Amino acid sequence: MGRTILHSDVNCFYASVEHLHHPELEGKPIAVGGDPESRHGIILTADYIAKKHGVKTGMALWQAKQVCPELTFIAPRMDLYLRFSRMAHEIYGDYTDLQEPYGIDESWLDVSASASVKGDGEKIAKEISNRMKKELGITVSIGISYNKIFAKLGSDYKKPDAITTMYENEFQTKAWDLPVSDLLYVGRSTHQKLARFGIKSIGDLARTDEKMLNLQLGKMGSILWAFANGYDDSPVKIENTHAPIKSVGNSTTTPRDLLTDEDVKIVLYMLSESVASRLRKNGFRCRVVEISVRDNELYSFTRQHKIMNATNITGEIAEEAYRIFKENYTWHKPIRSIGVRGADLVTDDYWEQIDLFCSMEKREKLMKMDGAMDELRRRFGYFCVQRGIMYQDKILSTLDAESTHTVHPHGYFG
């Protein structure tokens, strides 16, 4: 029996969620991204009204304002978007436990085993689409196919609020006429290389000799050739086996240059508090801690290290970040900017073998302390409780590291 794979993509996800929380902006173009006050940063997403005016993802805020003067900028609220992502997955969970996130707004769903109870792929897709509108107030575009690649191509085929099939007996008529750049993992550089060989459509790619592609593009040539011909048989992974994002991080340009190890430790603890809090809030733990450092002459570097046990404990992340810093910086220049990132995320129910010499009793106490701080700050604000280290410098301790963070999508080959 063949597989039935859906790919569900929330339309203009961040902007759609913001429209729900800003009814006064109904019918007006909005974009999410950057710092609206200073107009620094880039567009993360724009609604369809803004897109019709030429606003694009990745565009600088000032450029977006030029092409769409009436555009309203909204600062991103990742925790809010992650909450909607979790609610979307709860809906998906009523149809299958085989759901694999691709970022926080897209997911593959293997509904092959649900047909006898829930109906065929098209019926399930229609139910999911209707429930997303009714229960969450957002729309999705869904592709239906026998593999993941063409399911995703189907969700991109028509937007917004659409359902498109890419079955085995029809993908050649629907997919092969599409630009080759529409295929997953054909980026700008690959697109240019393919164009030099006259490969403009997905069909052109499918009909090209695999050995030639492999010679020009390496292993990726064979992968793309298989994608174009519908040979992708990769499974949809069981839900909760990995996080829908790759990392959670914070960085800051400090109020004054950092001059000593103690200065750095204060800021690293503040950043680690925010990273750990967001990990806990969204049910994640990290297995890699990374720091980024930039001095006052703009020289910068990043370093990372895989830790023994996955964690969302503030102290563990901060101490690891400080250890990495001490091993990699010799104070040639004062530091202007520093960042902390938790990467290689897993979900809270991820199972792992604990180190024999690890004190679980101590870790549980640290978890409870972090949880108590989260609750106090939720009720009374970020500065209602602070660690003792923060009182060593009044200027540095005024930073509110909760104000910014970044998330990164999960890769197809991850």
Pair 272, 304 in one domain:
yes
Pair 265, 394 in one domain:
yes
251 within domain boundaries: yes
Q: What is the pLDDT of residues 304-314, one digit of tens each?
A: 999 988 999 99
Q: What is the pLDDT of residues 347-374, one digit of tens each?
A: 877 766 666 667 778 888 988 999 898 8
In angstroms, rounded to a whole number, what is the distance separating the alpha carbons of residues 130 and 59?
A: 32
Would the pLDDT of 404 be above 50?
no
Would the pLDDT of 61 be above 50?
yes
Range of the domain at 63: 14-77
> Pairing state of beta strands 335-347 and 284-295?
antiparallel
Q: What pLDDT score was predicted for residue 300?
A: 86
Pair 190, 297 in one domain:
no
Pair 67, 97 in one domain:
no
**Confidence class of residue 303 from pLDDT cuts 50, 70 and 90?**
very high
Q: What's the order of all strands across the beta sheet hosting 140-145?
A: 99-101, 106-110, 5-10, 140-145, 163-166
Average pLDDT over residues 81-96: 92
Which two three-digit tokens encode residue 328? 């990699």
Pair 99, 201 in one domain:
no
414 within domain boundaries: no
Pair 70, 86 in one domain:
no
Would the pLDDT of 403 be above 60?
no
Identify the domain boundary among 32, 61, 77: 77
Pair 275, 383 in one domain:
yes
Which residues are CB-contacts of 368 (< 8 A; sequence separation ≥ 6)?
Answer: none
From the candidates 106, 239, 273, 290, which is the catalytic residue? 106
Pair 35, 114 in one domain:
no
CA dihedral (16, 85, 118, 135) positive or negative: negative
236 within domain boundaries: no
239 within domain boundaries: no
Pair 207, 311 in one domain:
no
Pair 263, 346 in one domain:
yes
Average pLDDT over residues 128-151: 97
Residue 393 burial (10 A CB sphere; 0-12, 13-18, 19+): middle
The total of structural domains in the chain comes to 4
Which two three-digit tokens encode residue 113? 């085993």
240 within domain boundaries: no
Average pLDDT over residues 57-64: 89
Pair 258, 139 in one domain:
no
Q: Is 106 a catalytic residue?
A: yes
